[in-house]
Amino acid sequence: MLIALVSLAGRKWGPGVSGWLLGIPFNSGPILFFLVLEQGPQFASRTALGSLLGILAWAAFTLTYAYSCLKLPWWYSTIIGWIAYFAVAALILPMTLSILPAFTVVSIVLAVILWAFPKVAPPRAQTVHGQYDLWLRMGTASFMVVTLTGFAKLLGPIASGILSAFPAYTTILAVFNHRHEAAAAVYVLRGVSVGLYTAATFFLILSPALLRLPATAAFGLALTGGLVVHGLSLIYVRRNA
């Protein structure tokens, strides 16, 4: 349902907006909620820190795919992007940063990545969508998220958090847009990178809040803070749409 709504928003307002919407933690947010119920708030708090660090790997995918798709077909771009994700994930796994330094590092890296994004002409206004395009996106998204969630439970909090930031929805939107036009994929991925400030804010608030507040209050507070940042970031997205 989430990937369907994001896809329909992209058809109406453009690929940049659909990518920007993915900054809302559709994947890691529900995973963290169920981890609170199953493993307790301390485990979930550490996982939220891992999810924050995982944004570095997620952003590495967006930038790598954006450059790859300008010259390569979608299957090569996907493989290269995933390699970039797992390479960065392996580098950050041993990191022992606390929540505030981690947020600072992520914010700076995102700014650099946005500056480094390739400049391309706007995609064509009209994109032809296949009859089963939306259903295929929904089915692919469901398969990827269920698979990732199953593996995440075996890895501990930090690794689970990093894995929850795997760009499942991002890959799906990038590939389906890339199949029509590379520029559309670049706009999607730049929108995602802007939206990652929302996810970073969500994890920044949620991680300490889970240790001090009931779970529902912690999630409500984190979501409120994230949506405020999300609204502000829309100004950047619309200017570059």
CA angle 52, 61, 73 (to 5 degrees): 160
Residue 225: its pLDDT value, please? 93
pLDDT confidence of residue 7: 67
- Per-residue model confidence (pLDDT) at position 30: 80
pLDDT at residue 137, as a whole number: 67
Structure tokens at 67: 């450059």
Q: How far is CA 36 from CA 31, 65, 189, 211, in A?
A: 9, 33, 30, 11
User: Is the confidence at residue 96, as pLDDT, over 70?
Assistant: yes
**Residues near 121 by beta carbon (within 8 Å), at least 6 away in sequence:** 183
| Mean pLDDT on 174-200 | 89
**pLDDT, tens digit, for every residue of 2-48?**
777 776 776 676 666 767 777 778 777 888 888 888 888 998 999 99
pLDDT of 145-162, one tens digit each? 677 667 766 777 888 888
> Does the pLDDT of residue 200 top 90, yes or no?
yes
Separation of alpha carbons 229 and 241, rounded Å:
18
Locate 127 and state its tokens. 């994109």
pTM (two decimals): 0.85
